[in-house]
Structure 1
Amino acid sequence: MGEAGYIAAFIAVATAATFATRVIPFLFLERHTDHPLIQHLGRYLPAAVMALLATVFLQRSADWTLIVPGADGVLAGLLVVLVHLWRGNALLSIAAGTACYMTMQQTGLLTG
């Protein structure tokens, strides 16, 4: 098998593993959707994961040498929150925040 074959096999295995990790909980937990633990996780886990991701993002990606330290990350995060409150669409919110952050990074908007 040549290099292209190995790459194709790797992509196929990675795709199958990713798909399986997304589908298996739905298959095995389908009968337990009324369980209080599942309802609790469904209610609070997404917000907890987003808070963790936002914290890591601010620590790792924000520019803390600006006049207002971390302003690029905070502004992008604030835009995500505002768009999500306005439209209630996670994909749109994340896309808007990413576009805002990348625009600030690529144009040097906050660096003066």
Structure 2
Amino acid sequence: MSGNLQMLVTIAVIALATFATRVLPFLCFGSREPPAMLSTVEKNLPPMILLLLVIYCLKDVQWFSAPYGFPELFTIGVVAGLHFWKRNAMLSIFAGTGIYMALVQLDLFSFL
């Protein structure tokens, strides 16, 4: 299969799979209430995913050498405070990313 044809087939399969995942819930639950288990998953999945992201982000932090994880802990505090204050996930995520990148790139905790 040539490179262009393979790329087009791949894009078509991905588009079809994406469309199917968007349509399937409406076909299954369009006229009735979803099961209680699905509602529980819907309610609890976003916090669980965020917790996994935090754990993943902290897995390589050097806690016993400078800067001792201060940029990460400071950013987590800012994100948590901003989220509790404004209740806006996008604002919290973008502000946290920007602050963390600034702290790491500018090496603001080098004095430790």
TM-score by length of 2: 0.72
Instruction: State the Cα distance separating 1:25 from its structure 2 match.
Output: 5.5
Q: How well do the aligned residues superpose, as a CA RMSD in angstroms? A: 3.0
Structure with bigger helix share is 1
Instruction: State the Cα distance separating 1:21 from its structure 2 match.
Output: 7.3
Which residue of the partner structure matches residue 103 of structure 1?
Answer: 102
Aligned pair in 2 of structure 1 residues 96, 25: CA closer, same or farther (>3 Å)?
Answer: farther
Identity of aligned residues (%): 21
1:74 and 1:100 map into 2 onto residues whose CA distance is 12
Q: How many residues align?
A: 109
1:21 and 1:72 map into 2 onto residues whose CA distance is 42
Bigger shift: residues 14-23 or 70-79: 14-23
2:110 and 2:9 map into 1 onto residues whose CA distance is 42
Which residue of the partner structure matches residue 81 of structure 2?
Answer: 82
Letter in 1 for 2:104: Q
Please tell me whether the aligned partners of residues 33 and 39 of structure 1 are also in contact (alpha carbons under 8 angstroms).
no
Larger radius of gyration: 2
Unpaired segments of 5 or more residues in structure 1? Answer: none
Aligned pair in 2 of structure 1 residues 87, 28: CA closer, same or farther (>3 Å)?
Answer: farther
Higher RCO (C-alpha under 8 Å, 6+ residues apart): 2
Instruction: State the Cα distance separating 1:53 from its structure 2 match.
Output: 0.6
Which residue of the partner structure matches residue 45 of structure 1?
Answer: 45
